[in-house]
Structure 1
């Protein structure tokens, strides 16, 4: 168990947020991340989905890769925002307590976890 009895994080998702005119930029960033870190890249959602307020694409990684990805993302994201969260098995906690923002934070739709 990690701090305060919380379950350990078994991995991370990083969501690249983009507006329609940033799709090519988001695809290029995801492609570079995939090539560099051998990440699984999900579908490019052009509209909000789940708790995410804008278009997004999910990158999946293990904790060891996330440490390297975080350093890279902080410098390589350009004008894009990346929302990253841990994977503990508790969706609400993962999207509220186990989070890192690269760029400005944005409000999530947490009503889906009610």
Structure 2
């Protein structure tokens, strides 16, 4: 099995999606809250349902290349066993969630059917 691609700081803007389930909801919520407080970032809703291409519950963190070098190592160190998708925001959703998708922890299969027709 291939190792997931590790995040690289080569884009201008990013999302990080922290994945969780009912057993890890509190851990994920606190991780996202701390990221927002520590780095002054915009944190999305803690979705306890499937949203977009995400096949697990998730919370989105929006950040830029200026935040990347501090946020990513911190996220990796503090995520415990949670999987985190880090992807570029280039305006091409399918490419952002495939070619420009990077992982902290295990990769999660995404449902890319929502990007059909791009």
TM-score between both structures, scaled by the size of structure 2 = 0.86
Unmatched tracts of structure 1, length 5 or more: 1-7
* Alignment RMSD: 1.2
Structure 1 residue 46 corresponds to structure 2 residue 48: yes
Number of aligned residues: 107
Give 2:15's match in structure 1, choosing from 2, 6, 13.
Answer: 13
1:89 is displaced (CA, Å) by: 0.7
Using the TM superposition, give the Cα deviation of residue 56 of structure 1 relative to its aligned residue in structure 2, in angstroms. Answer: 0.3
Q: Distance in 2 between matches of 1:16 and 1:69?
A: 13
- Rounded to whole Å, the distance in 1 between the matches of 2:82 and 2:38 is 18
- Secondary structure of the residue aligned to 1:51 is coil
SS in 2 for 1:15: strand
Q: Identify the residue that residue 88 of structure 1 maps to in structure 2.
A: 90
Q: Which deviations, in whole Å up to 9, do the C-alpha atoms of 1:27-63 show, x marking residues without a partner?
A: 1101111111111010111121100011000000111
2-structure distance, mates of 1:99, 1:72: 18
Q: Point out 4+ residue stretches in structure 1 off by more than 6 angstroms.
A: none
Greater percentage in helix: 1
1:37 aligns with 2:20: no
Partners of 1:83 and 1:12 in 2: how far apart?
10
Which residue in 2 is equivalent to 1:59? 61
Paired residue secondary structure (1:20): coil
CA distance in 1, matches of 2:25, 2:108: 18
